[in-house]
Structure 1
Amino acid sequence: MALIIDKSVEVDAPAELVWQVLTDVDRYGEWNPFCIACKTTLEPGTPIDMTVRLIGPSPKKQREFMHSHTPGREFSYRMKPVPLGTLHSERSHTVTPLGADRCRYDSHFALEGWLSPVVNGLLGGALRRGFFDMTDAVKQRAEALRTTVGD
Structure 2
Amino acid sequence: MAFVIDITVDIDAPAELVWRVLTDVDKYGEWNPFCLECSTTLEPGTPIDMKVRLVGSTPKTQREYIRTHTPGHEFSYSMKPAPLGLLRSHRSHTLTDLGDGRTRYDSHFQLDGPLAPVVSGLLGSALKRGFGGMTAAVKTRSETLKAAARD
TM-score, normalising length from structure 2? 0.99
Instruction: Give the unaligned 5+ runs of structure 2.
Output: none
Alignment correspondent of 2:22: 22
1:31-46 aligned at under 5 Å gives the runs 31-46=31-46
1:71-150 aligned at under 5 Å gives the runs 71-150=71-150
Paired letter, 1:52: V
User: % of aligned pairs identical?
Assistant: 68
Alignment correspondent of 2:69: 69
For 1:99 and 1:145, how far apart are their aligned partners in 2? 18
For 1:6 and 1:40, how far apart are their aligned partners in 2? 23
SS at match of 1:39: strand
TM-score, normalising length from structure 1? 0.99
Query: Which whole-Å deviations, capped at 9, do the CAs of 1:80-132 have from their partners, x for residues lacking one?
Result: 00111200010000010000310100000000000000001100000000000
For 1:142 and 1:62, how far apart are their aligned partners in 2? 25
For 1:121 and 1:133, how far apart are their aligned partners in 2? 19
Q: How many residues align?
A: 151
For 1:56 and 1:12, how far apart are their aligned partners in 2? 32
Large movers: runs of 4+ above 6 Å: none
Instruction: Give the unaligned 5+ runs of structure 1.
Output: none
